[in-house]
Amino acid sequence: MDIIVCVKRVPETAEADIVIDSTGKGIDKAGLVFDINEWDNYAVEEAVLLKEKYGGSVTVISMGPEESNETLRRALAMGGDEAIRLTDSAFAGSDGHAIATVLSQAIKPLPYDLILTGVQAEDDGYGQVGPTLAKMLGINHATVVNGIERIEGNTARVHRELEGGLEEILDLELPAVLTIQSGINEPRYVSIMGIRKVAKKEIKVLGLTDLGIKPDEAGENGSKTVIERVFLPPVGEGAEMLEGTVENIAERVVSILKEKGGVA
């Protein structure tokens, strides 16, 4: 079984002080720590588990600058076999549609039965690349996959998460794209020694011309959406603590709701 995993290098912002950059369309990434996108980490682990169970190969692809090699080598240390980096100045500003265009052109000449992506990326949260990639390749897809029950012949039985705690079980004809949900497995620990072992492994680099993509098909020119402005949420007023008897507090709550238009 040949599996392709699409991964992304993203900044860790959960506990960082975020500053908008000079363009007003992004954040200042100076000083931020970068790592593999959380959902993609689960996707790589799932691909390696499938390879260990059914045999085959795992090819990892990332679209980004040279620093993305760190993410690719991490994936190789987890059990990936080949790595490809898609890098070109023309790719800057690509939205989900343009990213899927670039990935699809890189994937078309490769052998694959499954393509795994994370459900979404930590830095934008769009969740568009997987389904769009499937549409461009003309193959089946399933999103928010939290379990791959089995693969028999050219059919995969997968479990996907729905709203309200519900789950759907699907039989998909391969090849197919699956967007992997966090928690589907427990990603293995990657040691420094493991990364050193794959340090000299070749990472194939492809650009706009190599992929046969026209300049107007990638970057902002090939995007369906464009970021106009990024801003931090405005700071609201502090909380008002209500004190007194239960009756007094209840009356004050009703009064506040009326003032704010919450009740007639």
Given a cut of 90, is residue 260 above it in pLDDT? no
Given a cut of 70, is residue 75 above it in pLDDT? yes
pLDDT at position 225 is: 92
**Residue 9 in contact with residue 37, Cβ under 8 Å?**
yes
Per residue in 2-37, pLDDT tens?
A: 999 999 999 998 888 889 999 998 889 888 999 999
Strand partners, 150: 157
Given a cut of 80, is residue 64 above it in pLDDT? yes
- CA dist 72 and 133 (Å) reads 20
pLDDT at position 264 is: 65
Structure token pair of residue 50 = 């499938």
Per residue in 100-145, pLDDT tens?
A: 999 999 999 999 999 999 999 998 888 999 999 999 999 999 999 9
- Chain mean position to CA 43: 9
- Give the ranges where 55-190 is alpha helix by DSSP (H): 69-78, 96-107, 129-137
Given a cut of 80, is residue 238 above it in pLDDT? no
Higher confidence at residue 95 or residue 238?
95
pLDDT at position 236 is: 76
SS3 74: helix
Higher confidence at residue 29 or residue 91?
91
Given a cut of 70, is residue 222 above it in pLDDT? yes
CATH class for the region spanning 2-222: alpha beta
- CA dist 80 and 103 (Å) reads 18
pLDDT at position 233 is: 83
**Nearest by Cα to 92 from 203, 222, 211, 5:** 222
Structure token pair of residue 24 = 């007003």
**Residue 84 in contact with residue 21, Cβ under 8 Å?**
no
SS3 129: helix
Computed over every residue of the chain, the mean pLDDT equals 94
- CA dist 188 and 78 (Å) reads 7
